[in-house]
Amino acid sequence: MTAYNRLTATFARIATLNEAASVLSWDAAAMMPDGGADARGEQMAILAGLSHELLTAPQLAEDFAQAESPNDAWHATNFALMRDAHKRATSLPQDLVEASSRANSKCETIWRTARPASDFAAVREALVEVVNLTRQSAVILGEALGTSPYDALLSGYQRGITAAELAPVFANYEKFLATALPQAEAKQRANPAPRLPPGPYPQEVQEKICRRLSEAAGLDYHHARLDRSAHPFCGGTPTDVRITNRYDENDFCAALMGVLHETGHGIYEQNLPPNFRRQPVGEAAGMAAHESQSLIIEMQTVRSDAYLTYLAPLLAAAFDKPITAAALKSRLRHVERSFIRVEADEMTYPAHVILRFRLEQALISGDLAVADLPGAWNEGFSKLLGITPPDDRRGCLQDIHWHAGLIGYFPTYTLGAMGAAQLMAAARRAITTLDASFAQGDLSPLKAWLNQNIHSHGASLGFNELLRRATGEALNPTAFEAHLTARYL
């Protein structure tokens, strides 16, 4: 074997360990009994440690020293991505990696009971440990990569994006929102719309509809499954996608949008280049790219006028209630200042992300203590949206991310929304019959376009280059603002 071939074999083993960890993580959220948490935390820590051992082994360093970058563009990019992963890993001591994994698992488990009880005090000490360990890792990585500690974390979720680049994008959106939100609210007040009939909407019926629409959107259930968890997510592997959802018998829309959002993630995973499976270049282009795929389904497609005309009679028949397209439009495209990020409309959603972006930077820099997080959260939320969360369940406890050590992740959500708007505009230019297809519940033309322009590229292109190839330009936030203006103003 050549040195490069030995590297690909090692990275395939690392990817397989990570796949096992992903399925165990899904199981912890969807199936595991409470009493299994301690053992699961140890299992996850050991897997993280084994992966780190492989990535930092002396033999790997020797292979990198001997290997030459391949001539083929895909393999050359794969080699570069492997080298970057090796550099990140060798910067971190293994005991810190394992300690972080244990702390994240412990904190996430506590959060699952602290959140519904709105008990920040219960999780505070565990979160302090997570933030401290994450800060240590960020400082070490930042020094190794020549970036700030926060940028080192951010690049782990979407390479090529920095906080300095994000700050003006978010500041400009904050200005747009200050004008657009009152206008959208005034338009809604001036044009009262019909409401959906009251529940109950049985959970079993909701779940069947969610599965049906997810499958119709293009998720292959021969290689996927749908389960329940406290927080919707997509995990697993490209050939074993695990999506989860939650259900409220008084409101089927939250479940419907949740599952279709995760379906977009799952479709991306299932359509990554199979020839480079378990190699860095065969993975998704980053979490902003991933969010663009979930949001082009959930926000751009499913909430469109055309798709809602298809969806309304299907739901009316399933629930035996007079559900109309106009009422669905009113519910799914209603702009409102609200507390819960995952339930927010697409106009106010970026405000939720902007708040988290600013707070997590302060946590990592040490400017904000974990103990002061609830107050800082409420103050920042009030400034952005003019309302204050009444409790921590609807404030700083609502998300799993920080409690699972995922700091630097949140900005990718809004980058993804902006990318989704830009991609849909390009798809509409390329396929002039998209709305006719959506009106029949047919997403296959859009999926085929995404397969060709996004999914098939894997991580061979960065986020901006991916957008440039598909749309003709790098990320342009004005496409998102134009979409919101057309839909809501």
pLDDT score at 256? 96
- 445 and 431 in contact (C-beta within 8 Å)? yes
Decide yes or no: CATH 2.40.50.100 for domain 164-488.
Answer: no
pLDDT of 343 reads: 83
- C-alpha to C-alpha distance for 460 and 466, rounded to whole angstroms: 9
Number of Cβ within 10 Å of residue 436's Cβ equals 12
- 305, 325, 326, 335, 474 from 312: Cα distances, Å: 11, 5, 9, 20, 36
Domain positions in the chain: 3-148, 164-488
Cα atoms in the 13 Å half-sphere on the side-chain side of 248: 14
- Please give the single-letter amino acid code of residue 477: P
User: In whole angstroms, how far apart are CA 463 and each of 234, 291, 295, 336, 419?
Assistant: 20, 11, 15, 30, 9
Q: What is the pTM of this model?
A: 0.91
- Give the model's pLDDT for residue 192: 87
Residues 249/203, Cβ–Cβ less than 8 Å: yes
Per-block mean pLDDT, blocks of 10 residues, the chain (489 long): 95 97 94 93 91 93 95 97 93 90 93 96 98 97 95 93 93 97 96 92 97 97 94 92 95 94 97 98 97 97 97 98 96 95 93 98 98 98 98 97 96 96 98 97 98 98 94 94 96
pLDDT of residue 248: 95
The tokens describing 207, both together, are 């779940």
Catalytic residues: 262
The reported pLDDT for the residue numbered 230 is 81
| DSSP output for 411-429 | HHHHHHHHHHHHHHHHHHH
CA nearest to 37, candidates 18, 47, 19, 24? 24
DSSP conformation letters of 418-466? HHHHHHHHHHHHH-TTHHHHHTTT--HHHHHHHHHHTGGGTTSS-HHHH
Q: What is the pLDDT of residue 98?
A: 87
